[in-house]
Structure 1
């Protein structure tokens, strides 16, 4: 860090004020392989600075962040600063071939960005297919210098809780069509539900002192699943979501989807002892594909100094829900409301654009054919993930799109507009569409293109995301880069504007960067397109992302310098191209070009 110059200003004859002192927080991230052993198997893992999870970045609101990324891995690399708004700084968003050329092996690149106007829990991760499973870490923004502290009781300690997955194979060798993880993790540890030749795997241990308050900064860094988190004998008071304060909400369970973060207070008010902390992945019931149920558990233990139990005592276990119980997630997210706070803006009442987006699976014919056999077992078609029956496909380009747009080196006519509505209207939540069959096959045909939507600067955009039952019935955590979204309402079944507008919360809706679209349901969000650049909107389930559930939201420049994207940093051209982000068969967007 370096200091800032402080000047004393005399107000009349009695008051001296000192301006805030922002800092530059600097890190070096070395991305490389290392071998780790779990479940009796040594696995090659991609990590940052030899750590899993990676190093924490801790800053104060108003600070600047500088991260030097040194790529010692065999793959092209970028880092995305998940939830950082990057106001007038789309260049640092870290999406390969969209905002920058990826960092080639044995090369480096420096990210520079500010964290002004935000406070709370965010995170960072690789934005390369699958690699974020192990290349990720927490980003904590504390209230600014001289600012009032948290709008909740001061915690005794702040504790990151990062939920993830363990893959017993090199993640670069994963076949996204059939693979699933080998275990779940809490802070990189598998826990004692897993063993190697009878020896229990180590679990995360959280030691507490009786009567103290702890702030848990919870992140779901998993590729595949939403998780339910519980601690036996204790309750959570949720106080923030995606670095935005919410009205304190007390619950015994947190439902957190990939990409989301929640801040929750836990009071150590139980009898001194040991209590299991359990993270359980949920999934839709049959006829959807059923992956193994692989929870992780750690232990909350009261300190021995304060009369904690002996380490040999069996910890108390929480009663976990059925892993198919999606209603708990629906109610958890529906109970969140915005906390009145100086940083929070009112919901914009004027709407400039409305978009209705269906989310699901579909198929395209291989080798560019116009017709083909469809269904699960067809070798003639390729399963894709879609938005309004279109799957994102980035063409072969040698220049990142943001760079090309800024310098007008390409008019990008090949971008295809994301339509206001899907091309076909049907009963989107019809359960009979989940399994393959004649009814479902008629709705499968999809197209692939570089899907984009342009917005004028300052436009107020309302998006209704509609989950569908087409070939699956999963929920979808939709993440918008560069902006926050007001979550106005959610519901089950098919969205009906005439009926559902009355359900909108226009007073205190939660504000997030990642919104969970419920299984066989919908969610309505609103955002202001006030950050010029090219921003990713995508599902944070990794396989949905790699299969094409992506669109580019392009925000045009405003009328002034302060509302226009500035010139790129001098070192933005870290040379790479779209074809060698990962081996082709694992980067499904590029398959069968």
Structure 2
């Protein structure tokens, strides 16, 4: 998965050390990494493109820990832009300072500066991931975060795999991510990636001047079982993922185990992770089989949408009995893919997920929010917009989120000096009573909802129930939540409450709001700090589909956010005080 270097020599320094804190194999460890963030040129599709990477790799290095370990990551910024690293899905209990959300929990790490993230990975098992959280840098600054059980792989609640493989679905862009983010913020959504990628490879559907791009190749042995840890690191679409001639057993999502079920098609939205088992038993003699990642690009009634696709190859090698060797000259079996404009399979895939180890769902709801996620206009009718002449933005409850510009939101609240945050707005618990989806005047603001410690919050996320609809993968930092229900049309509190799953709902950090519909989540605020809730589509979060929960301290020291670390980044360069995705 290491990226090649085009036209120049590139040297990077990387080390990973695991220091056991005790001699017992079951003891927690200190896992230490160094991330060198720098720029390099990569050549794809006949073009040299300058990209930002970690340790010269695309995807970046996979971090592997055991539940209960402490992780220390030294970030050395040798790029010309400010950067943060968000540990997507890590709860960061009493450690909001390490969440890595630019201008929400910290100011970016400036060029030629360092910052060390320190946090425990406790109470979680499975696949998460890490990515940049400044502008659209996550398109190339990302990698898998694998958390194994403390008692070892024999304790997996599914058959022990013979091998574990990260599969990172991404995109290849030739637009500078800072320019891309500026365009997104101004609702210029015309830019599209050149291709999808699988583990950094564009695949053989992409050619230029007769040269075919490389496929990612997964070598397997006949009869063995593989745990694929799938991450959708793309900026935009959901993806269908299939391997010709094979079926999957879904066993986990967002580092939470689910009741296993079999399918031949995985559906994974931007920001989500899905763990699946696949048995290499397609044919008695093995062979070669395409694995395909196909972007779902339905846009309401629109039918002319781009096709984002990449494919790799599952190639059989001989097992101990000499069986299963692939014929490299023979045909490669191609899977039949769903219609890339149809999200029906996505709705049912997400609706089929239930928790393998259900825990009691809190019943007494303290705070209820109904959040409309859609688009609005900054320009009133008849007004003359300023350059670049775009008025449409995304919003939540008719507020288009705007990042703070002088200090991080967390630092301002910790110092109890909210005057440091201009345009601060109290987030409304409901949309305006006469809101018309995807229409009407809106405004910008730093919108926050303040909530006491140990409060049960239920949120209904309502997407546009109109022909011009779209799905929205919503991500909450610092908390997992129960997904109680999803549905189509407008949410009806009296009727739809009977569809709630209060027995074994899936536990997630991502909630996909389906096209034309709604999703209900519930969580308890047991983690003080400032926690971002936002759509994981880059063009949506950059143009305002976000808000922040401010969770107050609890009554004891053990429920109070401690002071920031000594090397906490400050905002010294005004050029780098923008961007959060």
TM exceeds 0.5?
yes
State whether residues 479 and 527 of structure 2, in contact with CA within 8 Å, keep that contact through their aligned partners in structure 1. yes
1:51-130 correspondence to structure 2 within 5 Å = 51-130=57-136
- The answer to whether residue 373 in structure 2 is matched with residue 359 in structure 1 is yes
- The answer to whether residue 210 in structure 2 is matched with residue 207 in structure 1 is no
* CA displacement, residues 212-236 of structure 1 (integer Å, 9 cap, x when unaligned): 1100000000001110001111011
* Counterparts of 1:562 and 1:107, CA distance in 2: 32
Q: CA deviation at 1:359?
A: 0.7
Partner of 2:8: none
Partner of 2:461: 465
* CA displacement, residues 74-131 of structure 1 (integer Å, 9 cap, x when unaligned): 1111000000000000000001222112100111111001001111100000001111
State whether residues 101 and 577 of structure 1, in contact with CA within 8 Å, keep that contact through their aligned partners in structure 2. no
1:68-467 correspondence to structure 2 within 5 Å = 68-145=74-151, 149-174=155-180, 175-176=183-184, 177=188, 178-271=190-283, 272-285=286-299, 287-288=301-302, 290-304=304-318, 305-340=322-357, 345-365=359-379, 372-373=382-383, 382-397=391-406, 399-410=407-418, 414-425=423-434, 428=437, 443-467=439-463
* CA displacement, residues 183-210 of structure 1 (integer Å, 9 cap, x when unaligned): 0000000111111212211011011111
Change in 2 beyond 3 A, CA 1:156/1:296 = same
TM-score (norm 2): 0.91
1:542-581 correspondence to structure 2 within 5 Å = 542-576=538-572, 579-581=575-577
State whether residues 474 and 513 of structure 2, in contact with CA within 8 Å, keep that contact through their aligned partners in structure 1. yes
* Counterparts of 2:465 and 2:329, CA distance in 1: 48
- The answer to whether residue 29 in structure 2 is matched with residue 29 in structure 1 is no
* Counterparts of 2:568 and 2:294, CA distance in 1: 41
Q: CA deviation at 1:426?
A: 5.6
Match of 2:306, SS?
coil
State whether residues 360 and 472 of structure 1, in contact with CA within 8 Å, keep that contact through their aligned partners in structure 2. no
- The answer to whether residue 512 in structure 2 is matched with residue 512 in structure 1 is no
Match of 1:300, SS?
strand
Q: CA deviation at 1:362?
A: 0.9
Change in 2 beyond 3 A, CA 1:379/1:203 = closer
Match of 1:306, SS?
coil
Match of 2:414, SS?
helix
Partner of 1:46: 52
Larger displacement relative to structure 2 (192-201 or 350-359): 192-201
Change in 2 beyond 3 A, CA 1:414/1:158 = same
* Counterparts of 1:577 and 1:95, CA distance in 2: 17
- The answer to whether residue 485 in structure 2 is matched with residue 476 in structure 1 is no
* Counterparts of 1:573 and 1:326, CA distance in 2: 41
Change in 2 beyond 3 A, CA 1:111/1:167 = same
* Counterparts of 1:575 and 1:173, CA distance in 2: 21
* Counterparts of 1:128 and 1:423, CA distance in 2: 31
Give unmatched runs, 5+ long, in structure 2.
1-17
Alignment root-mean-square deviation, CA: 2.2
Q: CA deviation at 1:395?
A: 4.0
Change in 2 beyond 3 A, CA 1:247/1:416 = same
Q: CA deviation at 1:316?
A: 0.6
Partner of 1:437: none
Partner of 2:14: none
Match of 1:2, SS?
strand
Q: CA deviation at 1:573?
A: 3.2
